[in-house]
Amino acid sequence: SPETRGQSIAIQQTGKDTTQTFKPRAGDVDESYTLTVSKNGQVNISAKSSTGVLHALETFSQLFYKHSAGPFYYTTQAPVSIQDAPKYPHRGIMLDLARNYQTIDDIKRTIDAMSWNKLNRLHLHITDSQSWPLVIPSLPKLSQAGAYHPSLVYTPSDLASIFQYGVSRGVEVITEIDMPGHIGVIELAYSDLIVAYEQMPYQDYCAEPPCGAFSMNNTKVYSFLDTLFNDLLPRISPYSSYFHTGGDELNVNDSELDPRIRSNDTAVLQPLLQKFINFAHSKVRAAGLSPFVWEEMVTTWNLTLGSDTVSVVCVE
């Protein structure tokens, strides 16, 4: 049959974008689109948001194959009419950058792959007891002492570039600082904040070594968090509507070693944890963000969380 070349692409966006379009809370943005390719090569795209347009263009590009005989692309799918919308508002993956450092290029390559598959949330588990690669200018010793190597860090400009790369591809980046457990590495940089660091046998104090948790009845911890959040959260809020405060696998035995608590009784620890989370989440909200937590904050500790808090369930 004779060749038909693509004639033009007509794009119609029927709604207006807002600042929330590019850092949406789940369900804020209509990501649906329609795409038609006629037999004579006319392409029509219609969507309510620029995110929907982005998804439509991604689908359009995936209709084509590269010809083996030259720099040409062709499709066997015309004519075609597609109506598409996501089933779930949150479609994401997590990268554990604390245990396994990944280069900026690798993170951006992951964002590319997410965009191709119309995934929209990249969760960065960026610190843990294993390492602290995140540079916090107001707390410089965190990454200086806590990173695997001085070169294996994420500077403020690195973090901004990841966020910006994601925004332009319809992927919202969610940063996690896991606490009050999974944070023993701080002991290498700032003393008198952590209990049970590298305690053995580790099985009695954490899920995997090295152990270490915040001393929850310690005013110095609150001062530390104040400095940390005042530095970090204003750099996140222009690009994301969420911040993850962790909360998984907190071992009660850590607090039995804490000279300010000396108990592993959940009846003693739960009010301290509630106060801790209330403080952390007040800082998150003050920065215009909504908190994420791991499910144990509800299922194990029965904490009272705000209606804007997202509880993440881990299924293995």
Maximum C-alpha span of the chain: 83
Q: Output the six-digit token pair for 85.
A: 């919308």
* CA nearest neighbour of 292 among 27, 25, 38: 25
CA-CA-CA-CA torsion for 91, 97, 102, 104, nearest 10 degrees?
70
Is the CB of residue 135 less than 8 Å from the CB of residue 97?
no
Give the torsion sign (CA, 248, 146, 211, 101). Answer: positive
Give the torsion sign (CA, 104, 106, 112, 114). Answer: negative
How far is Cα 185 from Cα 143, in angstroms, rounded to an integer? 10
Catalytic site residue from 187, 249, 256, 295: 249
Is the CB of residue 182 less than 8 Å from the CB of residue 293?
no
**242, β-bridge pairs:** 290
Q: What is the DSSP letter of 163?
A: H
Residues with Cβ within 8 Å of residue 223, at least 6 apart in sequence: none
Active site residue 249: yes
Catalytic site positions: 249
